[in-house]
Structure 1
């Protein structure tokens, strides 16, 4: 009695590898592509690359040594509150902070301004794109 040799089966296609590649391509295009609506073609943005970086003229400046200054002279939180923008009961203070100021010093000045009567303290920073 002779035994019949089994016919070799063809191997199934490795679909898992294909699914992985498609998934990675999907992730890549989601990250690289634009998800937000594009800006209108008729709008040209203003270029600000050659502007001098300086503080607003009436802002309080916190220097790197921790001194509050207004127009070049040292000042106290109480005098800052007297000059601050008032909108009804709201007193807003804007401060330009030197980047070398430690956070603990900044938070100490913010607390002093809040104790002196400021309802909100805004820290003016440089925005980099």
Structure 2
């Protein structure tokens, strides 16, 4: 008695359908996924208060487009401004400091001033902004 084996059947190639599904999943997750880095904690940006009146009193520091400094309308060096602000803060600790920077002033000119004022003990530093005007 001779036992014969059945001829092997050729199954249809199902790997092609699997590749299509994987490709569609890849495209789907690329479209819905976030590609930017997110902070590991909640970050809520500050809200500007443009259009409100400026608080009265305090000192106003002006920064020109080329980095020149003036305190309450008098042009001074950075060292002179630091001494003046430090003296004013020692007399009035809750003194309001306004920074009125030209729109073309470099940020590298303004940020060190804010840091220096905070190191001196300033509680409130206000950045003067201009509300957007009508589109021309």
TM-score class, shorter-chain normalisation, is: 0.3 to 0.5
Kindly indicate whether structure 1 or structure 2 has the higher relative contact order, using CA contacts under 8 Å at least 6 residues apart: 2
Structure 2 length-normalised TM: 0.42
Structure 1 length-normalised TM: 0.43
